[in-house]
A and B are shown apart, each in its own frame.
Chain A
């Protein structure tokens, strides 16, 4: 084994790759935390990748790697992608944050786009979607539809992103139905069909007749279908194959416009690092078709809520709201600022669940 200083090797390889890439196509890399066939989160990122290929045709080449573990392996995959001559790399999971920062420091000429993170650099931008806006609509439908007044929630990890979704759904479920209770199960995974199915079954056994999920597989949908009188919502992807029941609507992540925009910016040489947080208004969050299993008046209320969020008339976190322990958070008419939302680590008043510490 040659003891060549790694940085010299990297710089050399980068130089060569840079020359090669400049000569022809723009190379865009994607690293995915799950398999592209997960039917949820990774699936939608891959749909946007294909849309980039479609849009730019021969001017672009995309490469991707699926099921990359978060940690040391991600760092190696990112490095190898950069070495292979990628000009822009989308790193599509929160856990890729530190690896992305480390690799970006070694490859100043490669642009990185990190989903859902908060660390940025001159060549690292971040982006995420305001999924909580979609959660508000789910909460409303859940609150109106439940017969047992028990809504089950399959949560992934107790991080701000997930906590925000639970709060938003709960606030709007309570508004629609003051008697509703949420039961939350922490699955500690983004994608594990077996665990998700177990969680769904446990929630149904505890009386839940609505299941919300913040995990990516369709296993909870299948479990609900088996149970019969339970409704669900598609997560990240439409999951339309379970419509009209149990899936009555969905939150769809739509990364396509953003990815095309960023690839174009790299081609034009206008790319700069920034932080993007788009919602229903910009089309990054879409609400999947509300099926006929939902009564017409509920559907109408849900669509009205969606329109008011899209137009900016209504913010899902509008006071009066207290934190779970009863301390005041937002006063009448006050809306939450993005900083608090991004670091959200508390439940709102009325939620009977606990955030694991």
Chain B
């Protein structure tokens, strides 16, 4: 007989090993899935995980793209992880990402065609503030009226999408765009552009800020009293209350930081890789970042690796699609498996597997 025995404390060993195990299981199950579709499973897995990094034909282009794709994921996930640790569930990073991009791009477009050094810094400021303000709505509703921040933040994503559509078609539409939706391309407006900083690396300001945010989050969590409060509130809300932690302040702080970081991610994306405000600007980074945060164990170092891994499955997944004609839906299922297996094997962290006769106490 097999049964599970709860551990007194989560196993440190399994905390580190389970993400690797989940990746391995995903490769196995994904291989079976691809084989069932009539594709060579080894070639498929190699195309997804190996070719973007080392294939002579693609790697010089796709390696830098990893940073472009991972940058916003890491930036958003870092903020979300702080909240998740404290038990504050911001599910609406996608909306904060959109509003940050709109505010930042709005500032840039308002200055067009003025060329000045201060345009981009002002856009960054507006982007962060926009995301922060959007996150303050669920924060205030929660602290004042005890509404559920999961629902409010999630539903505000759809409100933000409507704003995005309205802006792309109305206020921010490119007056020289022939009536088509979408703003001016910020990449073509030097003062507002977020270009590649070192040619051929994919490194742009958003990636730099993501790394800085990771380091700050690490220091906050491990060296600062606020980080201790966050961890305490997440592990034992009652103990946190006795220790004098102000729960409302914590909610406002966690939602504010994660909103601001998501807003920054949106700003760096709209002024860099995406280039313009458009109806389809948001591509789900805010939701994927939730997976990244958990895949990374809500730990800054873990998030770094998880973000890069997720980016790898995106870019490798694209390669697998057109090199091997694997359907897009199969790639999405493959990415979904990653989270599924991670949550599944998580049980090993908190429980011990026992085999044998169960002793009655």
Contact = CB atoms under 8 A, between A and B. Distances in A.
Contacts of B169: 157-158, 356-357
B77 interface: no
A230 to B, nearest CB: 27
Interface SS of B by simple majority: loop
Contacts of B329: 35, 67
B323 interface: yes
Most-contacted residue by chain A among B274, B278, B281 (CB, 10 A): B274
Contact of A356 (B166, B273, B280): B166
Interface string B299-328: 000000000000000010011011101011
B178 A84 contact: no
Contacts of B276: 98
Given A76-B315, A160-B179, A84 B58 contact: yes
Nearest to A116: B180
A316 B311 CA distance: 49
A5 B196 CA distance: 12
Contacts of B325: 63-64
Nearest to A190: B280
Contacts of B315: 76
Contacts of A17: 57
A118 interface: yes
Given A6-B200, A35-B329, A70 B61 contact: no
Interface stretch (B63-71, B103-111, B212-220): B63-71
Nearest to A30: B322
Contacts of B328: 35, 65-67
B199 interface: yes
Contacts, number: 125
A159 B181 CA distance: 7
Given A10-B61, A83-B57, A83-B61, A160 B178 contact: yes
Contact of A5 (B166, B199, B274): B199
B15 interface: no
Contacts of A357: 169-170
A7 B93 CA distance: 35
Given A10-B61, A70-B280, A72-B68, A118 B274 contact: no
Contacts of A81: 322
B30 interface: no
Interface in B202-222: none
B94 interface: no
Contacts of B65: 76
Contacts of B273: 71-72, 75
Given A66-B321, A70-B280, A3 B200 contact: yes
A73 interface: yes
B288 interface: no
B140 interface: no
A98 B182 CA distance: 11
Contact of A1 (B63, B68, B185): B63
A94 interface: yes
A356 B62 contact: no
Contacts of A342: 178
Contacts of B63: 1-2
B240 interface: no
B200 A9 contact: yes
Most-contacted residue by chain A among B56, B61, B322, B328 (CB, 10 A): B322
B274 A71 contact: yes
Contacts of A356: 165-166, 169-170
B322 A77 contact: yes
Contacts of B56: 13
A188 B62 contact: no
Contacts of A8: 200
Interface in A42-76: 63-67, 69-73, 75-76
Contacts of B68: 72, 76
A6 B165 contact: no
A2 B201 CA distance: 8
B323 A6 contact: no
B198 interface: yes
Interface string B36-76: 00000000000000000000111011111100100000000
20 contacts: A2-B63, A4-B200, A7-B200, A13-B56, A29-B322, A63-B322, A63-B325, A66-B328, A69-B280, A71-B274, A71-B275, A71-B283, A73-B318, A76-B315, A80-B322, A188-B279, A344-B179, A356-B165, A356-B170, A357-B169
Interface of B: 56-58, 60-65, 68, 165-166, 169-170, 178-181, 185, 198-201, 269, 273-276, 278-281, 283, 315, 318-319, 321-323, 325, 327-329
10 closest A-B pairs by CB: A9-B60, A6-B200, A72-B273, A345-B179, A67-B328, A65-B322, A63-B322, A357-B170, A5-B200, A65-B321
Interface of A: 1-10, 12-13, 16-17, 29, 35, 63-67, 69-73, 75-77, 79-81, 83-85, 94-95, 98, 118, 157-160, 188, 342-345, 356-357
